[in-house]
Structure 1
Amino acid sequence: IVLAGGLSWTPREDLTIDAGYQHLFFDDAPIDKVGSSGDRLVGEFDNAADIVSVGLNWRF
């Protein structure tokens, strides 16, 4: 699942500033690993990602 949004602002005729945000939802990832010394890791990872962007467009 992806949730995204963005904005654009033109403070002057030759300048535009853009911004965006995106959040990615991933399924939880299980883990069950045994190390070389016999130790064991059991659990679940909660996965997600956030992406932020800013852009400047200057026309001349």
Structure 2
Amino acid sequence: MDECIKSGGRPVAGQAAAEPIVKKSESGICHDKNSTSYERTKKFTEFKTLDECVKSGGALPKK
């Protein structure tokens, strides 16, 4: 189900999708919930921490 949601799908009514903690966008930028682009990032790889995201080759957003 997670892959479906990551690609733009929606959870079945009555089932809440777990919100990712960190999103790595297709362009390789790591967004946590404090990022201004977090909500706009729709295609992403999910990570538990910013550190994991950066270690996977991601970068922090420019401020």
TM exceeding 0.5: no
Larger radius of gyration: 1
From the two aligned structures, give the one with the greater strand fraction: 1
From the two aligned structures, give the one with the greater helix fraction: 2
> Structure 2-normalised TM-score?
0.21
